[in-house]
Structure 1
């Protein structure tokens, strides 16, 4: 399956401030993920996506991939907060849907993998049966799905219950106070932008696209696969993420520690590879009638 989707809290061109930290990938990650994925949509898929997008997106899916993180959305859709993550028992580096997919009140299926299944089902149901188009808000379904597929690939959205996916691990990122979740949401990406990409997001995107066609081309077939030819397979995504959380995110990141070049340079390749490969989860070729997600590869 490969490492997918690590960056995901992009920029929505709307009017409210994006809240980072406990809310998902940082400002640039979601945008990068969806921008790369858009490049692999077929002509019909692109037209269908634009038909579903709100006017505020200006025809660009990447502009609404962090919509679900906006404070106004978090407040108005309070019920959706549990859908951004799925945490495992402390120090359990494996994911189990029946054990882990629930909210803090124990209600089943209320987690990021459950949400991905739900919104995929809404979109596919409307595809197969026009009567479902009036039952579901397909614009919201598309925006939630695009966001949550991103979130599930951020390792600390599949972290440990005890520290709330790293939110309770307070430390320093170089000289600034931060928590570990925020480091993975925002700081690694923003530091890379400044150090290696002249603070230009377009240069970063071009670099990742080049890696997809050159350095990572051997991984693409495995990244595109889902068991039983399913449209999405969030359980393997979550399993991969908690494994990465144990191997990379939590390692050497204890409360009060200072994370600097050693941590940054050793984790950045994980982030970049997952960001580039994330386009496969969003632009996977499913059954033919799902036009808005189909790609020509």
Structure 2
């Protein structure tokens, strides 16, 4: 086991224990990031898949999905990365602007999830340049890119600055007892939607949920799998568009009827679950398309759009 793999494994064990005590600070939960990367793996070309496998640490056992949540698990050590998981937007504006919104809490520019996606994409594009690639840790670049592609598709990761993306909005989730604890709205979108969907609809089996999402992708795109038109330009990636979608969905779905102290139940869950599942699908499909583009193979997908 190399130095990177040893440090990675040790940090994961320790930090997984610590992070269970700090709900609400992560992106999609571990299941969400696993689902996004599992969907992406299914759509990688053979060339891209081979490069991805070559970059993965041995602890991943050849599967990107096994380590997609790693950037959350090391945030306590990689403190510099904390601001790269999200992008805060002005309250009730319901739009995203890179120059206005991409900065950390100290005002340092280009410190947000969309800039991070650009950065790690550019690093990975040096893969075939033996000189330039030595400047970067391409294994970490791959894992960060995969993770941040998931984060930017979680609507509240581009939520309002005033409530920190729903982290200061505390609500009940299926309240059954007067003493039941409240959850951060952000945590509900990160974790409880997927956990509840698994329990209610998928026999507590994340694999079954992922297959259902993949079937929806196939059904929607079966006649047009050769096209990829998400980006309006010829760029290989367009995270600003993904962020713009997320804040629109946050305004239309996540924040509506989620006032502090409210109880969110079936009405909220079933009306928002299609958005959660589509965002997982989009994150996975787009991640695969980006990796296919970086590593020189033609994309295999259709353009999956969500109307808002």
Question: CA offsets, 1:125-168, max 9 Å, x none?
Answer: 343x2211110000000000000011001000000011000000
Give how far 1:219 is off: 8.8
- Of residues 52, 55, 61, the one that matches 1:58 is 61
Q: Secondary structure at the match of 1:161?
A: coil
Indicate the SS of the match to 1:22: coil
Task: Give the match for residue 291 of structure 1.
Answer: 295
SS in 2 for 1:284: helix
Partner Cα separation in structure 2 for residue 153 and residue 22 of structure 1:
16
| Corresponding residue pairs, total | 281
Residues 84, 65 of structure 1: alpha-carbon distance in 2 compared, 3 angstrom cutoff: same
Alignment partner of 1:191: what SS? Answer: helix
Counterpart in the other structure of 1:98: 99
Question: Does the alignment pair 1:133 with 2:133?
Answer: yes
The equivalent of 1:247 in structure 2 is 252
Aligned ranges for residues 63-212 of structure 1 at < 5 Å? 63-70=66-73, 73-127=74-128, 129-175=129-175, 176-212=181-217
Encode CA deviations 1:34-78: one digit per residue, 9 max, x unaligned.
1011011111211110110111111100011110000xx112210
Deviations 1:181-232 (A, max 9, x none): 0010001111000000000111111111111111455797886421322111
CA distance 1:14–1:105, shift in 2 (3 Å):
closer
CA–CA separation in structure 2 for the residues paired with 1:100 and 1:113: 10
- Quick one: structure 1 residues 219 and 79, their matched pair in 2 at CA, closer, same or farther if it must change by over 3 Å? farther
Q: 1:14 Cα deviation (Å)?
A: 4.5
SS in 1 for 2:171: strand
Instruction: Give the unaligned 5+ runs of structure 2.
Output: 1-10, 176-180, 302-308
C-alpha RMSD of matched pairs (Å): 2.1
Residue equivalent to 1:7:
none
Contact 1:82 1:103 in 2 (8 A): yes
SS at match of 2:233: helix
Q: Please point out which of 241, 263, 277 is paired with 2:268.
A: 263
Structure 1 alignment gaps of length 5 or more: 1-12
What is aligned with 2:34? Answer: 31
Determine helix, strand or coil for the equivalent of 1:28: helix
| Maintained 8 Å contact 2:28/2:151 | yes
Q: 1:280 aligns with which of 285, 289, 299?
A: 285
3-state SS of paired residue (2:257): coil
Provide the rounded CA distance (Å) in 2 between the counterparts of 1:221 and 1:244.
27
1:35 & 1:183 partners in 2: Cα distance?
A: 22
**Conserved? CA contact 1:231–1:287, under 8 Å:** no
Which residue is 1:15 aligned to? Answer: 13
* CA distance in structure 2 between the partners assigned to 1:169 and 1:296 by the alignment: 40
Question: Structure 2 length as normaliser, TM-score?
Answer: 0.86
**Cα contact 1:45–1:295 (8 A) shared by 2:** no
Aligned pair partner of 1:226 in 231, 237, 253: 231
Q: TM-score, normalised by structure 1?
A: 0.89
In our comparison, the structure showing a higher alpha carbon Rg is 2
CA distance in 2, matches of 1:198, 1:125: 43
Separation in 1 of the partners of 2:53 and 2:284? 17
On the 8 A contact 2:237/2:290 being kept in 1, the answer is no
